[in-house]
Amino acid sequence: MELILKHFPDLTDLQRSQLEQLKGLYEHWNAQINVISRKDMDEFYERHVLHSLGIAKVMTFVPGSTVLDIGTGGGFPGIPLAILFPEVQFHLVDSIGKKIKVVKEVAEALGLKNVRATHARAEEIKEQFDFIVSRAVTAMPAFLPWTKGKFLSENKNPLPNGILYLKGGDLKEELAPVKQPSTIYSLQTIFPGEFFETKAVVHVTMRS
C-alpha cells in the first residue's frame, strides 16, 4: 500500500481506505474462486493495483466520462480506476461468471456506486463509451473487433476517445497491423522496478 501512496500522494481518506481494503477482499474471494495467481498475491499492490493505475498516469478522466473494461477478470484495471475516479462511470465485463461475481462483491464491499458488472462477451455490449480499458486480454489486432461501434463520437478528455490497453512485450510488432493512430507510454519511466521494465499503456484513437 505504501507503493500506491508514493505514486498517488493526493488520495482522499475514502480512497485510501478503499485501496487498503482491496487486498483483504481479494484474499477472501481468491480462496474461494481463483481470480488472481496465488503467487501474485504477495505482490498484489504492485502487480495488480499499481499496474492498473498506470492508466491514470497517462489519462485523467474528466467527471462524467464512461469507461468499459473488457475482460476485467476479477476487476482489473476497472476497480482501482473506479476508486481513483469516483465521478466516472465504469462498466466491467467478463465472459466468466464467477469472476464477475467477485467484481460485484468487491464493488459492493467498497461502496463503489460508479461500478456495474456484467457477465457477457464484449460483442454483446451495445452501449457506447468514451474509453475502453483492458489488461493484456489478447493481442491488439484480435482485440479491436470486440470494440467496434462502442465509442462515443464527442471527445471531452485530454486524449481522444479510444482504447487504453495495459500490455507488455514487443508492442511495435504487435501494433504494426493496426491502422488506427496509436501511442505507447512506457510505465518503466513512471514506476521504477523490474516488474514494469517491459510494461506500457497503449492508447489507440478510435472513431465510432
> What's the average pLDDT block by block, 10 residues per block, for the chain (208 residues)?
96 98 96 85 94 98 98 97 98 97 98 98 96 94 95 96 94 93 96 94 88
Task: Specify the pLDDT at position 37.
Answer: 82
How big is the CA angle at 37 (ends 36 and 38), to the nearest 5 degrees? 105
470494440: which residue's cell?
A: 147
What pLDDT, on a 0 to 100 scale, did the predictor assign at position 40?
82
Phi/psi at 177 (5° precision):
-80, -10
Q: What is the pLDDT of residue 189?
A: 92
- The C-alpha atoms of residue 28 and residue 159 are separated, in whole angstroms, by 37
Give the pLDDT confidence score for residue 170 in this predicted structure: 85
Q: What's the pLDDT score for residue 105?
A: 97
> Cα(191)–Cα(199) distance, rounded to whole angstroms?
10
Rounded Cα gap, residues 114 and 83, in angstroms:
9
pLDDT at res. 118:
98
